[in-house]
Amino acid sequence: MSRLIMNRRGLLKSGAAVGAGLAMPTVFAGSAAAQSYTNEPTGASVTLGFNVPQSGPYADEGADELRAYELAVEHLNGEGDGGMMNTFSSKALSGSGILGKKVEYVTGDTQTKSDAARASARSMIEKDGAVMITGGSSSGVAVAVQALCQEAGVIFMAGLTHSNDTTGKDKKANGFRHFFNSYMSGAALAPVLNNAYGADRKAYHLTADYNWGYTTEQAVRESTEAMGWETVAAVKTPLTQTDFSSYITPVLNSGADVLVLNHYGANMVNSLTNAVQFGLREAQANGKNFEIVVPLYSRLMAKGAGSNVAGIFGSTNWHWSLSDEGSKAFVQSFGTKYGFPPSQAAHTCYVQALLYADACERAGTFNPCGVVEALEGFEFDGMGNGPTLYRAGDHQCFKDVLVVKGKENPENEFDLLEIVEVTPAAQVTYPVDHPQFAGGELGDCNPGA
């Protein structure tokens, strides 16, 4: 048993100790700025960081993203058949790595948690010397890692992230998104829905209770209301909900005749299955057939929901059944290596890796500021989505958006969606200061160091 006795001598002693402790960090203040930017590659190779979910709800998508990255690295280093490098409109890439340096990579697990994703990205930057981070399968993670990369002074090439915020209020100068977003889904879907179901419809929204759900609901609402639809109600559902029957029951008596499911992943699989079980697809309301819409589709979700997706409209970034040269080349080399067609997540990640490499070649440096300059306002083609623009104002890609429908008679487990319409880029383009994207600033590029 001891007591803290404060006499003059004790106080002086401990005061000195504390003072020394506080002064200590200042010794390390002078930072050794030998590099002109963060992780400048000095050897014969350059390291990229692939940060994808390897565990958690999106592990399947993460696995497919990683396959795409491995394929991209192979092609960049001149192995394999070159894939989309042959169809890409820019010919700066030669298959000898990037700027003559062999491409190496490290992987990490985001666990679809912002904290874990940032920890893993930081270890890639601090320990492995990665000069670019890419990947991810959720907007929360994308926004978190994008902010980290901005701070650390490396480039972030977003993977699968659909929320408006990634290139809206949370946009960053060092971050780039190739994937489409909620606004584009709404703008592409609305005309198709109008043609198929008419302008006099009443919609009921079920929305996953988090950021992506909110922006998607807002986008679909605004686009459909502009067509003359009416929104009867918008109900938020907890993200962890697995049984949606209590949410589906009120729908039929609400006077609505369309149900919009702003759900992704397992949420969508469960809510759609519940809705079909409750007979919504056979139901009649206001003298019309009751319809269901799913704004964002992915093949993995369609697989989970099985035959329930038949005939249901949604949007997607890319689909392997596209017949342009770029898509064919990519499906060909991915299929040869892995034995099945790539998902849209794999596509966007592969394209992002190639776009980054190409930007470095054109800029002649790995310096993030040079890369940003090379990517801003960059127009390209031959990557599966037709002519595409990387807009300088918000670092968002503008390209065609696919409206798809669940197939009635799928031939195999990959052939679940059919393309209804390819919405041209002009129709989904919006001004940088569109209200759905308002707030937030790009800021300046940060080379770190």
Partner 1 sequence: MLGLNKRDFRLLIIVLLLTLGTPFLLQPFAEGTELAKFNAGYPDLMQRIAIFGIFAMGFNILFGLTGYLSFGHAAFLGVGSYSAVWMFKLLSMNVIPAILLAMITAGLFSLVIGYISLRRSGIYFSILTLAFAQMSFALAYSVLTPITNGETGLQLALSDPRILDPVNNTGSLPLTNIFGLEMNAAVKIEMLGRLYTFSVGYYFSAAIALLAFYVSLRIFRSPFGLMLRAIKSNQQRLSYTGLSTRPYTLAAFVISGIYAGLAGGLMASMDPLAGAERMQWTASGEVVIMSILGGVGTLMGPVLGAGAIKYLENIFSKINESVLQSWFAFLPDGLENTVVWVFSRFTGDGWPLTLGLLFMLVVTFLPGGLVEGGQRIAKLFKRDKVKPDGENNDEDGAKHKPEPTPRVDE
Contacts of 272 (CB under 8 A, 6+ apart): 261, 263, 292, 294, 305, 308, 309, 312
User: Is 14 an interacting residue with respect to partner 1 (CB under 8 A)?
Assistant: yes
Instruction: Label residue 215 exposed, middle or buried (CB < 10 Å: 0-12, 13-18, 19+).
Output: buried
Q: Which residue has the tokens 């930072």?
A: 31
User: What DSSP line would sit under 299-333, residue for residue?
Assistant: HHHHHHHGGGGBT-EEEES--TT--SHHHHHHHHH
Residue with Cβ nearer partner 1 (169 or 407):
169
Residue with Cβ nearer partner 1 (80 or 387):
80
Closest CB 380 distance from partner 1, rounded Å: 27
In terms of DSSP bridges, do strands 291-296 and 313-316 run parallel, antiparallel, or are they unpaired? parallel
Structure tokens at 290: 């009751």
Binder among 7, 8, 127, 409 for partner 1 (CB under 8 A)? 127
Rounded to 5 degrees, φ, ψ at 31 are: -90, 135
Residue with Cβ nearer partner 1 (83 or 129):
129
Span from 195-203, 206-214, 373-381, 428-436 in contact with partner 1 (CB under 8 A) = 206-214
Residue with Cβ nearer partner 1 (21 or 287):
21
User: Is 271 an interacting residue with respect to partner 1 (CB under 8 A)?
Assistant: no
Site for partner 1 in 15-34 (CB under 8 A): 21-22, 24-26, 28-32
User: Is 113 an interacting residue with respect to partner 1 (CB under 8 A)?
Assistant: yes
User: What DSSP line would sit under 67-114, residue for residue?
Assistant: HHHHHHHHHHTT-TT-GGGTT-S-----SS-BTTBEEEEEEEE-TT-H
Residue with Cβ nearer partner 1 (17 or 226):
17
Nearest to 84 by CA among 296, 322, 372: 322
Neighbours of 198 (CB within 10 A): 13
Closest CB 319 distance from partner 1, rounded Å: 27
Span from 13-21, 243-251, 275-283, 396-404 in contact with partner 1 (CB under 8 A) = 13-21
Rounded to 5 degrees, φ, ψ at 235 are: -110, 135
Give the total of residues touching partner 1 (CB under 8 A). Answer: 65
Residue with Cβ nearer partner 1 (5 or 426):
5
Residue with Cβ nearer partner 1 (170 or 361):
170
Neighbours of 252 (CB within 10 A): 18
Residue with Cβ nearer partner 1 (29 or 426):
29
Contacts of 4 (CB under 8 A, 6+ apart): none
Binder among 92, 99, 106, 432 for partner 1 (CB under 8 A)? 106
Site for partner 1 in 79-98 (CB under 8 A): none
Closest CB 17 distance from partner 1, rounded Å: 8
Question: Which strands sit side by side in the sheet containing 401-406, from one edge to the other?
Answer: 230-237, 202-208, 258-262, 291-296, 313-316, 401-406, 417-423
User: Is 123 an interacting residue with respect to partner 1 (CB under 8 A)?
Assistant: yes
Structure tokens at 142: 């994308």
User: Is 210 an interacting residue with respect to partner 1 (CB under 8 A)?
Assistant: yes
Neighbours of 143 (CB within 10 A): 25
Site for partner 1 in 140-179 (CB under 8 A): 140, 143-144, 147-148, 150-152, 163, 165, 170, 173
- Angle in degrees, 0-180, between the axes of helices 344-363 and 59-76, rounded to the nearest 10: 40
Question: Could you give the string, one character per residue 374-403, with x where binding to partner 1 holds by CB under 8 A and - elsewhere?
Answer: ------------------------------
d(CA 113, CA 101): 33
Closest CB 64 distance from partner 1, rounded Å: 14
Residue with Cβ nearer partner 1 (15 or 279):
15
Residue with Cβ nearer partner 1 (236 or 362):
236
Binder among 36, 42, 55, 289 for partner 1 (CB under 8 A)? 55
Binder among 41, 45, 57, 59 for partner 1 (CB under 8 A)? 59
**Alpha-helical runs (H) found in 175-297:** 182-197, 211-226, 245-252, 266-277
User: Is 119 an interacting residue with respect to partner 1 (CB under 8 A)?
Assistant: yes
Q: From residue 118, give the alpha-carbon distance in Å to each of 108, 148, 199, 211.
A: 10, 7, 45, 19
Binder among 120, 218, 262, 315 for partner 1 (CB under 8 A)? 120
Instruction: Note whether 190 and 182 are within 8 A (CB).
Output: no
Q: Which residues bind partner 1 (CB under 8 A)?
A: 1-5, 10, 13-14, 21-22, 24-26, 28-32, 54-55, 59, 70, 106-109, 113-116, 118-120, 122-123, 126-128, 138-140, 143-144, 147-148, 150-152, 163, 165, 170, 173, 209-212, 236, 238-239, 439-441, 443-444, 446
